[in-house]
Structure 1
Amino acid sequence: MRKLLNSLYVTTPQSYLSLDGENLVVLLEDNEKFRMPFVNIENIICFGYMGASPALMGKCADNNIAISFLKPNGEYLGRIVGKTKGNVLLRKRQYQLSDDEEFCLNISKDMIAAKFFNSRSTLERTIRDHQETIDATHLKLTSNYIAEAINKLYEFTDFDQLRGYEGIIARNYFSVFSDMLLTQKKDFGMIERSKRPPLDFLNCMLSYLYTILSLEVRSALETIGLDPYVGFMHTLRPGRPALALDLMEELRAYMVDRLVITMINLKQISKKDFYKKEGGGVLMTDDGRKKILKAWQDRKKEVITHPFIKEKIEIGLIPYVQAQLLAKFLREELSEYQPFLIR
């Protein structure tokens, strides 16, 4: 089993990354602010524009450490990775199956069903744990609706039906998302999902962490040897990591949604950690980003028993396990892909 190492998040926009022997060094106005041995790093994610030295980028490429660059608001800019690794026969099989419409539709149904299941599990968890302190009426209605949807989506015969229905269920789920909040409901209320830009604090948190999750999934796929840009459900576009977006669908509710709800309910974050732009979009403060990233790192270290392989793993390794299961299915070592399902 892969060891979960540190993802380094550089949140100060003026930071510059450099190399010193076997150490990564973060400089701010030419002064050393932080250093870490490469042996402890698996990903580097920078929220800024200063960049990194060519020597550092070469060292990261040689050590299979990806460097991702995002704007301070979390918008993805680009990524530096090393040589393509993995079994070329696995990638060839992936490319062949991506052209098989029946195969793509069937595996997409499984991934969307897992997304529905885990979203419903998040609703049911709130109902079960807080039934005496919340009005669970809308949550229960939506949970039942999603339960019916899981079976119905297997009746669809084309992608237009599947994608349209997935959108309907997602809107229903997010329409009751705020009902899972026990505190700060006035500040973190959400009417509907908004992305570009997020129009409220809750949407801002979700978009931010979904971006981080997509980078984690992309790294997992590359580590296993799959091409993150050739997927089965999301439309192929230049620069779009379609397979990473496919795989993260089943992980959103468990890895991101639950964390966001917990942070708000425990008042680990507040409205002071956000600000609104003139156009209506919402951004995080530097302190807000640091709070969310710390909570994300802590969440990744929690241990669960994986529902399929029945081994204890850290939550941060879930994308790697799912990437392995997908690869085994493509190589026909498994009779079917086993999506991540949690109760």
Structure 2
Amino acid sequence: MTELLNTLYVQTQGAALYLEGDSVRIVIPDDARRRTLPLRRLQEIVAFGNIELSTPLLARCATDGRPVTRMTAGGRFLFRVKGPVQGNVLLRHAQHLVYADADHRLRIAQAVIAGKVQNSRQFLLRGARDATDHQGELRAIAERLGQALPSIPAAEDLDQLRGIEGSAGRDYFQAYSLMLRSGLDVGPFTSRTRRPPTDPINALMGFLYGLVRSLVHGANEQVGLDPYVGFLHGLRPGKPALALDLMEELRALLADRLALTLLNRRQLRGEHFDELPGGAVQLTEDGRKIVLTEWQEWKKREWPHRLLGRRVPAALLPSVQSRILARHLRGELPAYMPWAP
């Protein structure tokens, strides 16, 4: 159990949370100590894996507008509970109309992928500057990503756009392996694998992507957008397509860069990962605690935002981008402008 910046992270397997007056009572297996936290101190609760949350507690959090997010122990997003839908119904209606317009939908998806590829390129160029080896290879791959950028607005449909994204992604993850320091005991990183991740590096990436996704999902709801109607990702029951869209431009600099830092500084080592039956790999409880602590600090880091003309904390970037998208959907901006520092 870790309380960080008004977010309660619960990851001790078998723990249970109950409502007790205006507080949450936390019961840890085989630990008789009494633990309570006033609800007024908490803006959100995030539970990983086998955590019990009582119905009265969920109801109180929903009434208060306090989100409760459930993740797997490995960090994969499961669901989020947050009371009645908020925001302007006219904004959500405009969002649905844009989704139904194939050309308009494609333009927003193109902007999302352009932001993703540009930020991936900047990450690789920064890695090349800091690297002692593979500098030439990293710059060459960054150049290939730069060459892919003009083809994005020329994509004629979503399938063609996804093909460009897939090719850029393969180049990017090839380069990512070159930025890892030699001698790490977390094994090689050869490609991106998920559901399940089969090596420690993929497990760490997936865990951080889950945290980014939860942040973006919450920002969509806060602004009044429908998280389940996106423009790049298709509609599917239970799939927050818009959250998945807007996290694309944030992956490289918010998640992948933090993962690289934790690994290269050896804050995370082989002992912080478990291999499960069937070959899946996930962070241990100690490993998750390290990541969550660093994640809270990472969210404080300020990044330049060209449209706003000032620096913005990482934790607020999803809200800023959600508001920019909302302004575009309402016709106040001619295009959606992805974040690229």
* TM-score normalised by the chain length of structure 1: 0.93
The verdict on how the C-alpha distance between 1:31 and 1:78 changes in structure 2, with shifts beyond 3 A counting, is farther
Distance in 2, matches of 1:5 and 1:99, equals 40
Paired amino acid for 1:15:
A
Q: Which residue of 2 aligns with 1:26?
A: 26
* Alpha-carbon distance, 1:5 to partner: 5.2
Q: Which residue of 2 aligns with 1:234?
A: 233
* Alpha-carbon distance, 1:49 to partner: 2.8
| SS of residue paired to 2:53 | coil
* Alpha-carbon distance, 1:77 to partner: 3.2
The verdict on how the C-alpha distance between 1:249 and 1:328 changes in structure 2, with shifts beyond 3 A counting, is same
What does 1:1-343 correspond to in 2, within 5 Å?
A: 6-29=6-29, 31=32, 34-130=35-131, 133-185=132-184, 187-342=186-341
Distance in 1, matches of 2:42 and 2:150, equals 42
The verdict on how the C-alpha distance between 1:124 and 1:50 changes in structure 2, with shifts beyond 3 A counting, is closer
| SS of residue paired to 2:153 | helix
The verdict on how the C-alpha distance between 1:333 and 1:172 changes in structure 2, with shifts beyond 3 A counting, is same
Distance in 1, matches of 2:267 and 2:7, equals 21
Distance in 2, matches of 1:204 and 1:145, equals 27
1:120-166 Cα deviation digits (max 9, x unpaired): 11100111233xx2221221111000000011121110111111121
Kindly indicate whether the alpha-carbon contact (under 8 Å) linking 1:23 and 1:37 is maintained by their aligned counterparts in 2. Answer: yes
Paired amino acid for 1:325:
I
Distance in 1, matches of 2:227 and 2:202, equals 25
**Structure 2 gap segments, 5+ residues each:** none
Paired amino acid for 2:272:
D
> Which segment is superposed worse, 258-267 or 276-285?
276-285
Distance in 2, matches of 1:18 and 1:210, equals 28
* Alpha-carbon distance, 1:103 to partner: 0.6
Paired amino acid for 2:254:
M
Distance in 2, matches of 1:72 and 1:13, equals 8
The verdict on how the C-alpha distance between 1:302 and 1:32 changes in structure 2, with shifts beyond 3 A counting, is farther
| SS of residue paired to 1:249 | helix
The verdict on how the C-alpha distance between 1:123 and 1:28 changes in structure 2, with shifts beyond 3 A counting, is same
Distance in 2, matches of 1:286 and 1:13, equals 9
Paired amino acid for 2:112:
M
* Alpha-carbon distance, 1:48 to partner: 2.7
* Alpha-carbon distance, 1:316 to partner: 0.9
| SS of residue paired to 1:187 | coil
Paired amino acid for 1:322:
Q
Identity, in percent, stands at: 39
Distance in 2, matches of 1:221 and 1:187, equals 35
1:153-193 Cα deviation digits (max 9, x unpaired): 21110111111121111011101212112354463421111
Distance in 2, matches of 1:78 and 1:32, equals 30
Paired amino acid for 1:109:
Q
The verdict on how the C-alpha distance between 1:181 and 1:78 changes in structure 2, with shifts beyond 3 A counting, is same
The verdict on how the C-alpha distance between 1:32 and 1:82 changes in structure 2, with shifts beyond 3 A counting, is farther
Kindly indicate whether the alpha-carbon contact (under 8 Å) linking 2:112 and 2:249 is maintained by their aligned counterparts in 1. Answer: yes
Distance in 2, matches of 1:307 and 1:260, equals 25
Distance in 2, matches of 1:314 and 1:149, equals 29
Paired amino acid for 1:18:
Y
**Structure 1 gap segments, 5+ residues each:** none
